[in-house]
């Protein structure tokens, strides 16, 4: 059974200046790989506020939900806790199966969409 783990600290882009900010769209990169091996694949996710989703909906008309965490207030702690929960649920027999399970929640760098 392959146990995935985060190999390096998460990279956050566009982090709000204040914990009280209600309009944000933060990009996160996670390097995740098999616990027993070196190396990792990149997985991406976005942390979005309801206010930003509303603006995006008015502009685009449709918002696809995969790889997005919706938070009222930005919290690295909540994001990292949820990411850990996802990783625990995605143990599989091979790395390919594990990465595809993670890809249901996150955007895997090798996803062919």
Is 90 within a domain?
yes
Domain total of the chain: 1
Q: Give 62-91 pLDDT, tens digit per residue.
A: 888 889 999 999 999 999 999 999 999 999
Residue numbers of the domain that contains 17: 4-108
110 within 8 A of 99, measured Cβ to Cβ: yes
Is 86 within a domain?
yes
Is 92 within a domain?
yes
* pTM exceeds 0.75 for this model: yes
Is 113 within a domain?
no
**DSSP characters over 2-29:** B-EEE-SPPEEES--SSTT----EEEEE
Residue 113: per-residue pLDDT: 63
Residues 81-108: what's their mean pLDDT? 96
């Amino acid at each position: 059974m392959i146990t995935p783990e985060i190999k390096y600290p998460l990279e956050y882009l566009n982090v709000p200046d204040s914990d009280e900010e209600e309009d944000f769209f933060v990009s996160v990169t996670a390097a995740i790989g098999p616990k027993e091996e070196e190396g990792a694949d990149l997985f991406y996710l976005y942390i979005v506020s309801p206010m930003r989703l509303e603006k995006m909906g008015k502009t685009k008309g449709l918002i696809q939900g995969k790889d997005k965490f919706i938070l009222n207030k930005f919290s690295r702690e909540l994001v990292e806790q949820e990411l850990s929960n996802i990783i625990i649920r995605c143990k599989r027999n091979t790395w390919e199966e594990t990465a595809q399970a993670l890809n249901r929640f996150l955007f895997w760098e090798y996803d062919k969409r």
